[in-house]
Amino acid sequence: MNKFGDRIRGLRKAKGYSLRQLAPLVGVGFSYLCKVENGKLDFDGTASESLIHRLADVLEGDEEELLLLAEKVPEPIRRRVIARPDAFRRLAELSDRKLDWILASLD
Amino acid sequence: MNKFGDRIRGLRKAKGYSLRQLAPLVGVGFSYLCKVENGKLDFDGTASESLIHRLADVLEGDEEELLLLAEKVPEPIRRRVIARPDAFRRLAELSDRKLDWILASLD
DNA sequence: CCACATGTTGCCTGCAAGCTGCTACAATCG
DNA sequence: CGATTGTAGCAGCTTGCAGGCAACATGTGG
């Protein structure tokens, strides 16, 4: 259960980077990157949003996907939830099946 | 533009508490509470989630509503977004009008 | 076998969030 | 008047986040 780290590692290998090569490109130390990939950060948590942003950039990954794997709510979604709390409170209570139905009816 | 503080103040008055009375009930100092209500915290930010939780409890307010006023995403909603990112990424892109339409069609 | 790149880990630090806890002063009210 | 209430400023303090450094392990080609 380390979806985020595994994804990062995958993207990194795909680009042929070593930890020491990638680290300076995203502005952190290589040892920190290692911990990020293995989910071994001292404090139980994940990388900061700004680091995820830089990683997505350099590795050409989907930033929102990475944020979600790291269990963070991406800003565009967050803003929308805050703007329309009435709507999202209700939507959040819906079953998977009803969500699917709504998505289908959007076309 | 101080929705959260105003709401807290309203709830507090409704219960007939003074700042100095309420403060110990939620475990903070009265001067801090004053700044929370007036949005004058030293660091630009809002009260912590745990304080909001205690306030909702003591003042018998709706915790999710208060969190949203403080521009924080409540846990139940957060979990749902993480569980169904595909759905919420799309829903977040919808206009207010389309959201209203969906809500209406839920009955 | 050695040299060297790569990955892993433990400890250590800087900094900002989220408070505490005074203090002082103005406004309000019985 | 005296007591209560709200407002504000300032100095600290504790915790957790974010990351650095140095040493150690593992692996790989020559």
Q: At what angle do helices A49-59 and A3-15 cross, to 10 degrees?
A: 30
Residues in contact with strand C, defined as Cβ under 7 Å from any of its atoms: A 18-21, 30-31, 34-35, 37-38, 40, 42; B 27-29, 31-32, 42-48, 50-51
Pick B92's closest partner by Cβ from A80, A89, A90.
Answer: A80
The closest alpha carbon to A3, from A57, A72, A76, belongs to A72
Residue range A3-30: average pLDDT? 96
Per-residue 3-state assignment (H helix, E strand, C coil) for B5-40: HHHHHHHHHHCCCCHHHHHHHHCCCHHHHHHHHHCC
Pick B102's closest partner by Cβ from A77, A78, A102.
Answer: A102
Strand C bases within 7 angstroms of protein beta carbons: 5-12, 16-24
A45 or A16, greater pLDDT: A16
Predicted structure pTM score: 0.91
Q: Which residues of A touch B96 (CB under 8 A)?
A: 84
What pLDDT sits at residue A20?
A: 96
CA distance A44 to B91: 31
pLDDT band at A44 (very low <50, low <70, confident <90, very high): confident
CB A85 to CB B65 under 8 A? Answer: yes
Q: Which residue of B has its CA nearest to A68?
A: B82
CA distance A40 to A63: 21
User: What are the tens digits of pLDDT across the range A52-74?
Assistant: 999 999 999 999 999 999 999 99
DSSP secondary structure letter of residue B43: S
Encode chain B (107 residues) as per-residue pLDDT tens digits.
Answer: 899 999 999 999 999 999 999 999 999 999 999 999 999 999 888 999 999 999 999 999 999 999 999 999 999 999 999 999 999 999 999 999 999 999 999 98
Nucleic strand D contacts from chain B, 7-26, CB < 7 Å: 18-21
Long-range contacts made by residues B45-53, C-beta under 8 angstroms, separation at least 24? B46/B4, B46/B70, B46/B71, B46/B72, B47/B4, B51/B26, B51/B27
Q: Does A102 touch chain B (CB under 8 A)?
A: yes
CB B85 to CB A78 under 8 A? Answer: no
What mean pLDDT is reported for chain A? 95
